[in-house]
């Protein structure tokens, strides 16, 4: 995050000064924004940067215990520099959060500089090798030119020039949220690879006396656990491509001072980061548990994969907060649509009349047609967004202010943002396959994946579709069955579909997911390397177990 921030927030002179040092690994930096007391509420950050016109320096301080920077990756022991987000004060006025480059450690002996107290925050659930750290600043001075001044400036006499948009400071977070969508796709693809390969190797139970034990991948319940997740990994792959394209386009516009789509990008990246990381987080556990006891072994790769992925739901914007950010924009779009304004691409459906036609019993509608089903996802999203928006309006009519009305409707706002993200993902998956140049055989296999993703997505949220009369109960049941009927067809290509992710064994780090499927021999070999097996009799025997046993044996 250090380098992307410099690339996005530096003037050209600052780029020339800082970026070569980063690219050549002459300095190593981190992004120090979160504090002990604040991670989400950025306007509440307490670190201060007071401008001293006499020396043309900023004086940085951590004025309270809660203002100590806390969590930044590699801050504890590795980074020589940091981008520090601090409240800017100049000529007696506070101008809000701004980014400053701060050197933390000497480039000669790596010792912390004067006014800098840094250290590691201690063991975490995962990311063991990463020294997430703390930073306490005490009257630490930096040159005026260390404030990143692409968008806002402080002149030598202390005069402040404000940015065209205050939220341009938040650009790096948007970029990383887009990466996290990619990270979700990768993590779910890894977990699917491990679970499906192992399920092809593992044989268990005797269905009928005398018959060989079947591969557990042959059980419909195992397929129902894993194949929708496999399809989701493919869906997220195409979504991250689409998300990155939108990000790149909007970022190019921003670089040309066109800020018209910055809100749409913030809303979409926030919703997709939250949606994909939540779904992946839950999916990793389903994959682990589908591997039985061996899934719980470190040898499986799942414990580390989960422990390292799960903070994706928290960092770079806690998921609930980001869903609320997305929903806040959607509510604004409903208002704009109602006042006749044209809405941008990813939200234009909110101005369409997608009112559901009650399907009744036998609707005769083609429930296996993906384009038709995507229109139902659209209906669901539109209904949820309009419902939440109306709830906000009712709150205001009841005398609440906008903040109060948004807060009171927040549970429904999160549901609306989830439905919006889900519609975007399902639509993008189906549309991406139409554009894919692939053999008819491959198209057929990918269509099966898109179908099971779309069917299962409705099955798992059928309440939304039934409550709004988008589907009847019997139609929902039919779609649920369509998903189950696809499973044996996907079974045929399941191992090939995970092999297609092409994870090398060294990257997958899983004995269960080995490409050669030679699991048992390698599990036994892996166990031999356990530290506890260095000696046949563990030293602790002589200190504890031996004396205990001998003492009790003498009583026999
Ligand atoms: C470099 C790698 C290259 C290649 C990698 C290749 C492939 C990737 C594959 C795998 C990678 C794996 C993983 C992903 C990669 C990296 C992940 C690893 C590590 C990540 C470490 C995490 C680091 C951090 O956590 S940094 C700290 C993150 N902190 C946050 O996100 C804070 C969250 N909180 C907020 O953002 C705030 O709540 C808020 C700013 C959203 C709201 O603040 P506030 O209370 O002020 O109020 P509002 O009134 O709601 O908002 C004010 C208005 O501002 C608008 N807004 C807010 N944010 C933005 C934004 N970002 N952009 C645009 N606009 C924004 C908001 O909409 C309001 O506008 P309005 O018009 O007034 O409504
Ligand atoms: C592994 C890891 C790496 C990290 N790396 C970095 C880094 O490199 N740099 C950095 O600056 N930070 C980093 N962070 C910090 C991270 O960005 C914050 O933890 C994150 O932004 C969440 O903020 P918080 O911890 O204050 O959670 P909080 O906001 O306190 O969240 C706690 C709960 O409060 C709820 N909540 C908060 N606000 C609202 C609201 N307005 N409405 C409804 N509910 C709300 C949340 O939904 C959540 O359930 C990292 C964190 C982790 C775990």
This model of the complex carries an ipTM of 0.96
pLDDT of residue 360: 46
Cβ of 69 closer than 6 Å to ligand 1, yes or no, is: no
DSSP 235-287: HHHHHHHHHHHHHHHHHHHHHTT--TTHHHHHHHHHHHHHHHHHHHHHHHHHH
Q: Under 8 Å CB-to-CB from 213, ≥6 apart: which residues? A: 203, 204, 205, 206
Interval between CA 38 and ligand 2 midpoint (Å): 8
Residue tagged active-site, from 264, 316, 456, 475: 316
Relative to beta strand 29-32, strand 81-90 is parallel
**For ligand 2, what atom is nearest to the CA of residue 317?**
21
Cβ of 270 closer than 6 Å to ligand 2, yes or no, is: no
**For ligand 1, what atom is nearest to the CA of residue 4?**
1
pLDDT of residue 356: 59
Relative to beta strand 48-52, strand 81-90 is parallel
Best residue among 79, 179, 333 to mutate for probing ligand 1, ranked by most atoms within 8 Å of CB: 179
pLDDT of residue 353: 82
Measured CA to CA, the distance from residue 252 to residue 262 in angstroms comes to 11
Measured CA to CA, the distance from residue 297 to residue 198 in angstroms comes to 13
> What are the backbone dihedrals phi and psi of residue 155, each rounded to the nearest 5 degrees, phi first?
-80, 165
Q: Under 8 Å CB-to-CB from 528, ≥6 apart: which residues? A: none
Element (H, E) at 140: strand 140-143
Relative to beta strand 133-137, strand 81-90 is unpaired
Cβ of 325 closer than 6 Å to ligand 1, yes or no, is: yes
Relative to beta strand 153-154, strand 160-161 is antiparallel
Q: Under 8 Å CB-to-CB from 393, ≥6 apart: which residues? A: 405
Specify the DSSP class assigned to residue 26: S
Cβ of 336 closer than 6 Å to ligand 2, yes or no, is: no
pLDDT of residue 166: 87
- Burial (Cβ within 10 Å: 0-12, 13-18, ≥19) of residue 260: exposed
Measured CA to CA, the distance from residue 58 to residue 156 in angstroms comes to 11
CATH number of 176-205+215-334+378-392+417-499: 1.20.140.10
The structure's pTM equals 0.96
Q: State the Cα angle at 215 between 210 and 218, rounded to 5°.
A: 105
**For ligand 1, what atom is nearest to the CA of residue 170?**
61
Relative to beta strand 133-137, strand 116-120 is antiparallel
**What residues of the chain score a pLDDT lower than 70?**
355-363
* 316 is an active site residue: yes
Domain ranges of the chain: 2-153, 176-205+215-334+378-392+417-499
Cβ of 173 closer than 6 Å to ligand 1, yes or no, is: yes
pLDDT of residue 433: 96
Q: State the Cα angle at 270 between 398 and 33, rounded to 5°.
A: 100
Q: State the Cα angle at 384 between 475 and 375, rounded to 5°.
A: 50
Cβ of 25 closer than 6 Å to ligand 1, yes or no, is: no
Measured CA to CA, the distance from residue 34 to residue 391 in angstroms comes to 33
Cα distances (angstroms) measured from residue 218 to each of 26, 483, 490: 54, 16, 11
Atom 28 (ligand 1) nearest CA: 316
**For ligand 2, what atom is nearest to the CA of residue 85?**
11
DSSP 200-211: HH-B---SSTTS
Measured CA to CA, the distance from residue 73 to residue 2 in angstroms comes to 10
Cα distances (angstroms) measured from residue 518 to each of 394, 501, 512: 62, 19, 8
Cβ of 407 closer than 6 Å to ligand 1, yes or no, is: no
Interval between CA 370 and ligand 2 midpoint (Å): 37
Please write the tens of the pLDDT for every residue from 353-384: 876 555 444 557 899 999 999 999 999 999 99
For the chain, give the number of residues.
556
Superfamily of domain 2-153: Butyryl-CoA Dehydrogenase, subunit A, domain 2 (2.40.110.10)
CB 279 within 8 A of CB 183: no
């Amino acid at each position: 995050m250090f380098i992307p921030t410099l690339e996005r927030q530096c003037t050209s002179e600052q780029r020339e000064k800082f970026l070569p040092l980063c690219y050549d690994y002459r300095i190593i930096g981190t992004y120090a924004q979160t504090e002990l007391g604040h991670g989400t509420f950025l306007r509440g950050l307490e670190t201060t940067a007071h401008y001293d016109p006499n020396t043309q320096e900023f004086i940085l301080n951590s004025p309270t215990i809660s203002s100590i920077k806390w969590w930044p990756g590699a801050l504890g022991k590795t980074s020589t520099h940091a981008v520090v987000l601090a409240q800017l004060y100049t000529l007696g006025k506070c101008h809000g959060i701004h980014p400053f480059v701060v050197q933390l450690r000497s480039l000669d002996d790596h010792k912390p500089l004067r006014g800098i107290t840094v250290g590691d925050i201690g063991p975490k659930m995962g990311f063991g090798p990463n020294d997430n750290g703390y930073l306490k600043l005490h009257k630490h001075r930096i040159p005026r030119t260390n404030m990143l001044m692409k968008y806002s400036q402080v002149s030598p006499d202390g005069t402040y020039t404000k940015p065209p948009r205050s939220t341009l400071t938040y650009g790096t977070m948007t970029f990383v949220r887009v990466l996290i969508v990619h990270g979700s796709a990768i993590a779910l693809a890894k977990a699917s690879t491990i679970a499906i390969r192992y399920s092809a190797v593992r044989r268990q139970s005797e269905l009928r006396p005398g018959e060989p034990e079947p591969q557990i991948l042959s059980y419909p319940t195992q397929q129902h656990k894993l194949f929708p997740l496999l399809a989701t990994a493919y869906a997220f792959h195409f979504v991250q491509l689409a998300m990155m394209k939108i990000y790149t386009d909007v970022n190019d516009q921003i670089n040309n001072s066109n800020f018209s789509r910055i809100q749409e990008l913030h809303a979409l990246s926030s919703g997709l980061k939250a949606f994909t990381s939540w779904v992946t987080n839950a999916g990793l556990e389903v994959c682990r548990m589908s591997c039985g006891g061996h899934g719980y072994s470190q040898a499986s790769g799942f414990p580390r994969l989960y422990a390292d992925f799960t903070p994706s739901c928290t960092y770079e914007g806690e998921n609930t907060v980001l869903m609320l950010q997305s929903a806040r924009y959607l509510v604004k779009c409903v208002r704009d649509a109602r006042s006749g304004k044209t809405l941008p691409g990813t939200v234009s459906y909110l101005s369409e009349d997608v009112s559901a036609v009650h399907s009744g019993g036998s609707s005769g509608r083609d429930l296996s047609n993906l384009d038709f089903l995507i229109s139902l996802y659209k209906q669901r999203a539109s209904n949820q967004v309009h419902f939440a928006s109306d709830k906000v309006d009712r709150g205001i009519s009841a005398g609440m202010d906008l903040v109060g009305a948004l807060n009171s409707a927040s549970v429904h706002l999160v549901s609306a943002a989830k439905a919006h993200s889900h519609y975007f993902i399902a639509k993008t998956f189906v549309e991406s396959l139409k554009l894919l140049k692939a053999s008819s055989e491959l198209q057929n296999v990918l269509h099966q994946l898109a179908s099971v993703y779309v069917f299962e997505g409705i099955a798992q949220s059928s309440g939304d579709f039934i409550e709004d009369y988008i589907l009847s109960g019997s139609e929902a049941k039919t779609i649920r069955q369509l998903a189950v009927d696809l499973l044996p067809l996907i079974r045929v290509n399941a191992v090939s579909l995970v092999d297609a992710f092409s994870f090398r064994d060294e990257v997958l780090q899983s004995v269960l997911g080995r490409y050669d499927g030679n699991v048992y021999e390698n599990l036994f070999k892996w166990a031999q390397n356990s530290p506890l097996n260095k000696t046949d009799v563990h030293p602790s025997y002589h200190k504890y177990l031996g004396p205990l046993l001998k003492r009790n044996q003498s009583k026999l």
